[in-house]
Amino acid sequence: MIEVRNLCKRFHDRKRGEIRAVDDVSFTCRPGQIYGLLGANGAGKTTTLRMLATILEPSAGTAVICGSDIVEKAEEVRTKVGFLSTATALYPRLTARELVQYFGRLNGLDDSLLNDRVNSIFQRLDMNGFSDRQCDKLSTGMKQKTSIARTLVHDPPVMIFDEPTLGLDILTTRTITGFIRECRDRGKTVIFSTHIMSEVEKLCDVVGIIQKGKLLAEGTVGELRDRYREQDLEEIFVKVVACNGTAAEEG
């Protein structure tokens, strides 16, 4: 369970002054559900997810992940979260197995449990053929599988995916989307950011539309279609962003 409460992130830029990357965002993601955070580039998706993964600290507000506060108990939160994005690269000089073991150890797993966990994940993801190959010698697909194994090794109840399919080919994208679905089916809480509408339609149980750091609309895909009287999600997205842009100007 993820409960986001009035989350804010402000950055200071010498030229532009204060930037509100995330501005008073609140939402809830439940176990067995995929929450899709939909927004254009620079909308605040990555900053929100980085705060949930405790990589960045909120300027105000907080979030509670499986009972742990992201501000007060950041390390505890990280043991409950698996974080995957296109920016989470692999250590090039470690083998796939060493890399997954490294993250398992950092998650406090003892050697026997770690070995069992690694063997079972490698079996499930069909990784045994390249488990002893260094990460810089792996293909994109193999790297993605290794990244998935890294996020799974400590069996976290919450999965955070930040644009995980960005720049990937169709087959690798399918591996990732399949994995996201599998996480939901196993009862994990999944939050997922993207700007690709088809992925949202295929995967998300609940969608939040974010623009300029603000959460503008939220609901299931069906609810959003009813509310904005549009079938096409892209049109809905444009309407939401345009409405709020006009409202902001009028305000």
Residues 6+ apart with CB under 8 A from 101: 114, 118, 153
Q: Which range in 32-40, 85-93, 176-184, 218-226 contacts other proteins by CB under 8 A?
A: 85-93
**Ranges within 108-167 binding other proteins (CB under 8 A):** 108, 134, 150
DSSP track, 197-250? HHHHHHH-SEEEEEETTEEEEEE-HHHHHHHHT-S-HHHHHHHHHHHHHHHHHH
Task: Identify the three-state secondary structure at position 114.
Answer: helix
**Ranges within 33-52 binding other proteins (CB under 8 A):** 50
* Strands 206-211 vs 17-29: parallel, antiparallel or unpaired: unpaired
Residue 28 binds other proteins (CB under 8 A) = no
Residue pair 27/35 in contact by the 8 Å Cβ criterion: yes
Residue 3 binds other proteins (CB under 8 A) = no
Cβ atoms within 10 Å of 246's Cβ, excluding its own: 10
Residue 67 binds other proteins (CB under 8 A) = no
Residue 93 binds other proteins (CB under 8 A) = yes
Residue pair 215/25 in contact by the 8 Å Cβ criterion: yes
Residue 85 binds other proteins (CB under 8 A) = yes
> At its nearest, how many Å lie between other proteins and the CB of residue 171?
22
Nearest to other proteins of 81, 176 (CB atom): 81
Q: In what order do the strands lie in the sheet with 17-29?
A: 17-29, 2-13, 60-65, 68-69
Q: At what angle do helices 140-152 and 111-124 cross, to 10 degrees?
A: 140
Residue 190 binds other proteins (CB under 8 A) = no
Among 89, 113, 242, 248, binds other proteins (CB under 8 A): 89
Residue 26 binds other proteins (CB under 8 A) = no
Can you give the length of the chain in residues? Answer: 251
Nearest to other proteins of 53, 217 (CB atom): 53
Nearest to other proteins of 82, 208 (CB atom): 82
Q: Which range in 96-104, 125-133, 167-175, 243-251 contacts other proteins by CB under 8 A?
A: 96-104
How many residues contact other proteins, by CB under 8 A? 30
Residues 6+ apart with CB under 8 A from 16: none
Among 35, 83, 122, 228, binds other proteins (CB under 8 A): 83
Q: Which range in 55-63, 119-127, 201-209, 236-244 contacts other proteins by CB under 8 A?
A: 55-63
**Contacts to other proteins by CB under 8 A:** 50, 53-57, 75-76, 78-79, 81, 83, 85, 87-94, 98, 102-103, 105-108, 134, 150
